[in-house]
Amino acid sequence: MLSWARTWRLPCGGLQLSRTSLSAVPVAPSSSGRGGAEPRPVPLSYKLLDGDAGRPALVFLHGLFGCKTNFNSIAQALARQTGRRVLTVDARNHGDSPHSPDMSYEAMSQDLQDLLPQLGLVPCVLIGHSMGGKTAMLLALQRPELVERLVAVDISPVETTSSADFPAYMAAMKAIDIPHEVSRSCARKLADKQLSPLIQDLALRQFLLTNLVEADGRFVWRVNLDALAQHVDKILAFPSQQDSYPGPTLFLLGENSKIVRPSHHPEMRRLFPQAQMQTVPNAGHWIHADCPQDFMAAIRGFLA
């Protein structure tokens, strides 16, 4: 799902969060959707920037191993440039949102179907990167009345092929051994050293280490590695859908990324008949990190 060759320029940290819980990560009740029941939504952590309530808000959804602060700079800039409300959200099992054993796209869509009306943000402009883009696409297909327009950032509604060995990465993260009562800088150095034999890409290690947080005097991973490892195949796949989304759609692609392939185009056109594609030069999978000005210009152009 992620392209590891690019530099991670927007780490999961920085500005203080609003309307979030900063205590230990809560655990949501199990909701497997058995018997055809809808997945049980979890109360997502979010940050909402104020703006004109008369226009659809911009809602940003991050990718695998990410968090809402991946979009801090982008969200603040677009709030100023467009005058709109801007919402950034932590997906379940990520950031400050609750942990849950269910990591399906149906569950992640249900979380947003619960949150967005509560905040009075429907219909909205839904902008999702990678895993977040698949969540955004499924929500638009399931509940088109909630989505005024859609932006899928370097992702398509088909199974994603990746060269990354996600199970091995997660196993290495789970095996990290850090003594109690060490400083944050020391903990990160120890974790980095233990991850480096398997994960040789420094940028990738630094990105994963943004998920290392202190809780009760010890360092833990705030992502739910058990749930992510169990559902890697689901995260790389996309649920089969019959109905299309009739609204305006932009597939924003990185020129140097190989995530979205020409063979994906027929399914993209079938499910999103009003779609347009735009390629950002010199960008990899993380377009908003590689070329933030071009990314924002594409969003503003799509809104015009």
> Which are the catalytic amino acids?
130, 226, 285
Residues whose CB is less than 8 angstroms from the CB of residue 104 and which lie 6 or more positions away in sequence, other chains included: 33, 39, 231, 234, 239
Which of 161, 223, 216, 168 lies closest to 195 in space, CA to CA? 168
Which of 146, 143, 140, 145 lies closest to 268 in space, CA to CA? 140
Q: For residues 204 and 8, what is the distance between their CA atoms, to the nearest angstrom? A: 7
Which of 291, 192, 232 lies closest to 2 in space, CA to CA? 232
Helix (H) or strand (E) segment spanning residue 106: helix 105-118
Q: For residues 79 and 49, what is the distance between their CA atoms, to the nearest angstrom? A: 7
Q: For residues 60 and 57, what is the distance between their CA atoms, to the nearest angstrom? A: 10
Residue 7, Cα to own-chain centre: how many angstroms? Answer: 17
